A and B are shown apart, each in its own frame.
Chain A
Amino acid sequence: MLRCVLLAACATLAYAIAEASEEQPTTPARIVTLYQGATDSAVALGITPIGVVDSWLEKPMYHYLRDALTNVEHVGLETQPNLEKIAWLAPDLVVASDFRHARVAPLLSAIATTVTAPNVFGFRTTLTMIANATGREAQASELLQRWDARVADFRQQIAAQMGNEWPQKVAVIRFKSDHVRIYTSGFAGSILDELGFEQPDTLQTQGWGMKLSSTENIPALDADVIFVLLEPDDAAIANNYRHWSSHPLWQQLSAVQNQRVYEAEPVSWMMGGGILAANAMLDELYSHYGLTQPLPRQACRALAATSVEQTTC
């Protein structure tokens, strides 16, 4: 819960910063975002889209984006956005992804100028793409510089803290009600890679990852550290997690024996897909490893936590 509040606070903050430093007249003002990462990035750049797609979890919109997106129209699902609704909204910019919307691209372009990212998880691409289309290049490069500085700081601190044990091999596991997925690439994978984590040997040849349906396959999950993504309101998923984690094979995993299994927030680790989610994921990593955050970020968190008026932070 606290995490949600923090996330929301930071989203609002990023919004406020971007809003305040806005000087040039905004070119396209009516923007529709058709995937999660685009919505996140638009908010990070201080844009309030006029239309967004439903979120995957915490429906209809992730808690961390809700404050910035009150009264914004929803245009259906990311996989099948309602074209007519989009047309009625008369946007002047549509942000889509080739990967999801290749089939509807001609229709989207007929509705409004459309920019597309090749996939839905490349948060840098999404951010720069939206920034370029809306004349917010300065804000985007500021956000990315801040991100790069945080990444550099994390890499330095964790290498110092872990010593010989660094780089760690990491597994990101998502529990579903009847199977388990392990992800190697995608949003979390690319960020962990950027932070210097390595992949377990068993997974290096596995493309996007694997689906495991039997507890027999638990040894494939072996890594120095495991991050587990659960869905908070789903009892079946919690049950499956209990079932797997009580299995003798699970107890033999080195991450389990060294008590390095952490539960992670699926929204920031997987669903959000934008720079705000990436920063939230990095926040989580800082706190899991007990590292101290560089000042500005920390100040923001401290202020938000004591619920001092957010705009001052």
Chain B
Amino acid sequence: MTKSTVLLLSLLLAASAGLSLCLGSFPTPPLEVLGALTAPQNSDITFIIWELRLPRIALAILVGAALAMAGAILQSIVRNPLASPDVIGITSGAALAAVLFLALLSTHFSLHWLPFAAMLGALISALLVISLSWKNGINPSRLVLVGIGLAAATGAGTTLLIVISDDAAAMTAYVWLTGSLYAAQWKDVEGILPWLLVPVPICLAFARHADAMALGDSVAEGLGVPILRSRMILLACSVALAGAAVAFAGGLSFVGLIAPHLAARLVGRNMARLVPASALVGALIVLYADLLGRVAFLPKDLPAGIFVAGIGAPFFVYLLHRTRRQR
């Protein structure tokens, strides 16, 4: 069922993107949307479809996919189902850097640098987590514990910065921390794309190593897997994916944790299938969260982050319930 599941998820994602493209401040009939897509010059809603809805939908899909894949990779290399980019400090490192930028540097530098700041934060905190937990290689449980500690410390730093910065910067920081796809533009889509195009093939190439490591280090070693190298490469992929997502959409939490679990319940823990399935599930979650933010409380446009947990959690409970009954 797994191959068909991935296909089904892809179809569902395409249909959802289509639905999202038809909904907004005013619902647009699908034919009109199609008209604007195929013949932009003849349509009076071209701007709304091409410049407002489409880039936002594209970014939602990419960000959701990146976070979910980052989570799936991380969960498999540290062999801990509770690991996710938010839990081990990558997201919070990025958040601290972003808030630091908003509070102290945004008067001197253009906001276009914000993604770079966030990315740098993600990278620094990943390096910190790795070096602090290093002891003859990377021990997964040490990695998680150090990561949780670092996440708490950077979280405290973020709170402190928000408290000492003025109201307006604090408000921007709050919106950013919630995670939002508001005002996504094509340049954001172009900006995030390389960060997915590079790590995804690498991580798929190392999928077998990850599967072997999931059986335990000694088994993996017996199977001839260069544990340290594979683990470092996969970790780097995870950091790049999570860092990119956070850089372009802010602190969308929960997707990286829950999407891989949802995907695993659908296709199993085999990495070559889990990664694409997670990507699709993550994309769906963020896409619907943003759709809700856009249309549920009109005329307000709310950050997608508010709805991510609200959408992910019920699905998760439903899946848990279903698999329990099957047993």
- Please give, as numbers and ranges, the residues of chain B lying within 8 Å of A74 by CB-CB distance: 299
In the complex, the chain B residue whose C-beta lies closest to that of A81 is B301
Contact of B25 among A79, A82, A107, A111 (CB under 8 A): A82
Q: Is the CB of B166 within 8 A of A208?
A: yes
Asked whether any CB of chain B lies closer than 8 Å to the CB of A160, the reply is no
Q: Is the CB of A87 within 8 A of B52?
A: yes
Determine how close the nearest CB of chain B comes to the CB of A50; give it in whole angstroms. 13
Partner of B52, one of A54, A107, A207: A107
A103 at the interface (CB under 8 A from B): yes
Which residues on A sit within 8 Å (CB–CB) of B182? 80, 104
Chain A proximity of B287: nearest CB distance (Å): 16
Q: List, in ascending order, chain A residues with CB within 8 A of B25's CB.
A: 82, 84-85, 88
Residues on A with C-beta less than 8 A from B183 are: 83, 103-104, 107
Residues 153-194 (chain B) with a chain A CB within 8 angstroms: 163-164, 166-168, 171-172, 175, 180, 182-183, 185
Closest to A106 in B: B185
- Asked if residues B53 and A84 are in contact (CB atoms below 8 Å), the reply is yes
Q: With A88-B48, A99-B168, A211-B163 in contact, do A79 and B299 touch (Cβ < 8 Å)?
A: no
B300 within 8 A of A: yes
Picked from B47, B51, B163, B166, the residue with its CB within 8 Å of the CB of A209 is B166
Number of chain A interface residues as a range: 20 to 34
- Across-interface contacts of A99 in B (CB, < 8 A): 168
| Contact A82 B298, beta carbon cutoff 8 Å | yes
Inter-chain contact A84/B180, CB cutoff 8 Å: no
Are A75's CB and B299's CB within 8 A? yes
> Which of chain A's residues have a CB closer than 8 A to the CB of B301?
76-77, 80-85
Are the CB atoms of B300 and A82 closer together than 8 Å?
A: yes
Within A74-127, the residues touching B (CB, 8 Å) are 74-77, 79-85, 87-88, 99-100, 102-104, 106-107, 110-111, 120
Contact partner of A111 among B47, B164, B185, CB < 8 A?
A: B47
Give B20-56 as 1s and 0s: 1 = Cβ < 8 Å from A's Cβ atoms: 0000111000000000000000000001100111000
| Residues of B45-99 whose CB lies within 8 A of A | 47-48, 51-53
Q: Is the CB of B168 within 8 A of A107?
A: no
Complex CA gap A74/B297 in Å reads 12
Q: Considering the complex, give the chain B residue whose CB is closest to the CB of A120.
A: B168
Chain B residues in 8 Å Cβ range of A73: 299
Residue ID in chain B nearest A89 by CB atoms = B25
In the bound complex, CA of A100 to CA of B183 (Å) = 13
Q: In the bound complex, what is the Cα–Cα distance between A79 and B168 (angstroms)? A: 9
A187 → chain B, closest Cβ, in Å?
12
| Residues of chain B with a CB closer than 8 A to A85's CB | 25, 298-299, 301
Contact A80 B299 (CB under 8 A): no
- A77–B178 alpha-carbon span in the complex (Å): 16
The CA-CA distance from A102 to B51 in the complex, in Å, is: 17
Chain B nearest Cβ from A174, distance in angstroms: 9
A103 surroundings in chain B (CB, below 8 A): 111, 183
Within 8 A of B (CB), among A186-231: 207-209, 211
A120 and B111 CA atoms in complex are apart in Å by 18
| Residues of B contacting A209 in the complex (Cβ-Cβ under 8 angstroms) | 166
Q: Is B260 an interface residue (CB 8 A)?
A: no
Q: Does B302 contact A (CB under 8 A)?
A: yes
Is A87 in contact with B48, judged by CB distance below 8 angstroms? yes
Most buried by A among B166, B171, B180: B166
Closest residue of A by beta carbon distance from B293: A80
The smallest C-beta distance from A178 to any residue of chain B, in angstroms, reads 11
Taking the nearest CB of chain A, how far is it from the CB of B233, in angstroms? 34
Show 25 A/B contacts (Cβ-Cβ < 8 Å), sorted by A.
Answer: A54-B300, A76-B301, A77-B300, A77-B301, A80-B301, A80-B303, A81-B301, A82-B298, A84-B25, A84-B52, A85-B25, A85-B298, A85-B301, A87-B48, A87-B52, A88-B26, A99-B168, A104-B182, A110-B47, A111-B47, A120-B168, A181-B167, A208-B166, A209-B166, A211-B163
What 6 pairs across the A-B complex have the smallest Cβ distances?
A: A208-B166, A82-B301, A85-B25, A104-B183, A84-B25, A76-B300
Contacts A80-B182, A209-B166 aside, 8 further interface pairs with beta carbons under 8 A come to A74-B299, A77-B300, A79-B172, A82-B25, A82-B299, A82-B301, A88-B25, A211-B163
